[in-house]
Amino acid sequence: MLNHVNEIPDLNINELDAKSDILHLVFNWFGGGIGIYSRERIKSDKALKIVRDIKGKYASAEFMLKNYFS
């Protein structure tokens, strides 16, 4: 059980910076708002994947505890 809990990832928003590629550099050059929006969108998509993973692992741990004490 403890091993399963230790596998739950941490969500650190500051570490989810999106990598700048050529397309984002062009967006930043021609329109700063579009580049910032696309970078934040990628960052939020990455965070959503991690949150779903965390949610699933907590649900699994809860299910294991319910079965253990039943």
Residue 27 lies in a domain: yes
Residues 6+ apart with CB under 8 A from 66: none
Averaged pLDDT, 7-27: 71
Higher pLDDT, 59 or 70: 59
pLDDT band at 15 (very low <50, low <70, confident <90, very high): confident
Specify the pLDDT at position 51.
92
Range of the structural domain that residue 43 is part of:
19-69
Residue 1 lies in a domain: no
Task: Encode pLDDT of 21-66 as tens digits.
Answer: 666 667 666 666 666 777 778 888 888 998 999 999 888 888 888 8
The total of structural domains in the chain comes to 1
Question: Phi/psi at 31 (nearest 5 deg)?
Answer: -155, 105
